[in-house]
Structure 1
């Protein structure tokens, strides 16, 4: 069993002109691990992924991917990585099978038909092999893109917001497939905005405007954020929310169905600000569980946009 990390990078820096898009990012991903890469739009996730897969050269920093040096062995890295971009990037006027045949030839896989047939079968695409890619729904386009990424049997899969615009059923099926691949030894780094997807990862890393802010299991990241959450239930919650705005210790107010989630980093101050609300008739205030989304919002609120 390979115990060396699939990704081990230190202090990666990437600048475009005067803007530092990736600012001393370090990351380790173990072999066979699924790591969620979180962060707001423009935070440097895509640029970091492109450095890791050998498409971009860092201005500073070093590291290895699949045992290959990030700077001197980019071509070897590319051959062993599958990279699924944010946008569907296949020929829409070719069939599923024809697109996969094209990819197989790019990777010089022989015999082509055997590789294409096996991949179609593995991803449940055989019955649609003659359908034009341009006529596929979002979920099927996603499945085709994944098929093309894994056909050459990569050791590392890099997925950049792979389920954006895909319905919940297709998203769940996609993640079931990712976990199946990981059980067979594939390492996965996936950027996502969906909290339920992040919670299906073994670990998460949170980057904000070029800087890595947190890394670990979901429970660890939530606990280390040091947030306290109270749930407010009852009548006239819109009015309650308006009253709570700006009170000491109240850092987030979020409606969840028929409740309000009130979040802050100073538990005593937050409880004090909620005391008069808790005494009202028809309103209850109880301790709640801080969610990953609460932490995500808190990180965003405390970060400065490096592009401004």
Structure 2
């Protein structure tokens, strides 16, 4: 079976400045990977590279068996950016219809309503986005990424500004999508999100400092939480 995402000896940067180095990763169909690390660790750069927004400086990235960048792959990837790219003078529904049309989604209205219900925005679809709180905008961005039912879903800090109850509802949907075969990549520094993932890649200063399932990592580092694992792995890297 072809890996959904395969990263080999990957390095990214510009000029003499290296942002990421020696990154290796394999994701099977339906896995949920959490990229975990502090701000500035290189998580977003890795996400952009997987999306094909950046050409690898060294190494190779393949998505669904095809090397990136590849514009045709974008039609099979749902993407929620770290910053909300929404039209404030349009309603939530108008935003969703606009992006749905761009993505060429069939049965658009049905897909829009389902995604809106997942993030509890179905009662706010006719409201202008200018009046939305930061959390509501994040929820709308997440809903838009869910609409095309993509083979790969890339989410950059998806639960920032979202209350715990809604976060649980969103994770319920993500696990459902995972079981249906959607491969999900989540860039986060939220430890509760990390615990939900089937696989973790911990990054600090552009390097992988630990990798495995949450249970494997907790056993390997003899810790009870992913947060404690990260702190111990971080300390080990600093000692090297």
Answer yes or no: same fold by TM over 0.5.
yes
1:22-70, Cα deviation, whole Å (9 max, x unpaired): 1121111110111111112111110011111111111111131012122
The secondary structure found in structure 2 opposite 1:149 is helix
Secondary structure of 1:43's match? coil
| CA drift at 1:19 | 1.7
1:18 is matched with which residue? Answer: 16
- 1:108 alignment counterpart: 104
Q: Which residue of 2 aligns with 1:120?
A: 113
Could you say what secondary structure the match of 1:55 adopts? coil
In structure 2, how many angstroms separate the alpha carbons of the residues matched to 1:118 and 1:101? 10
Unaligned runs of 5+ in 1: 228-288
Query: Do the aligned partners of 1:139 and 1:170 also contact (CA within 8 Å) in 2?
Result: no
CA contact (8 A) 1:7 1:65 kept: yes
Aligned to 1:39: 37
SS of residue in 2 equivalent to 1:185: coil
Match of 2:67 in 1: 69
Paired residues of 1:117 and 1:126 also in contact (CA < 8 A): no
Question: 8 Å contact 1:120–1:147 — kept in the other structure?
Answer: no
Match for residue 144 of structure 1 among 140, 143, 149:
140
Aligned length: 235
- The answer to whether the Cα contact below 8 Å between 1:5 and 1:28 also exists between their aligned partners in 2 is yes
Root mean square deviation of aligned Cα = 1.9
How far apart are 1:76 and its partner, in Å? 1.9
Distance 1:117 1:140, change over 3 A: farther
Match of residue 301, structure 1, among 219, 235, 238:
235
Deviation at 1:137, TM superposition (A): 3.4
- Are the counterparts in 2 of residues 143 and 174 from structure 1 also a CA contact under 8 Å? no
Partner of 2:26: 28
Larger radius of gyration: 1
Q: Which has the higher helix share?
A: 2
Classify 1:116/1:146 alpha carbon distance in 2 versus 1 (closer, same or farther; 3 Å).
Answer: farther
State the Cα distance separating 1:195 from its structure 2 match: 1.6
C-alpha displacement of 1:131: 1.2
- Alignment map for 1:215-226 (pairs within 5 Å): 215-225=211-221
Off by >4 Å, runs of 4+ in structure 1? none
Shift of 1:221: 1.1
Which residue of the partner structure matches residue 170 of structure 2? Answer: 174
Q: Shift of residue 134 of structure 1? A: 2.4
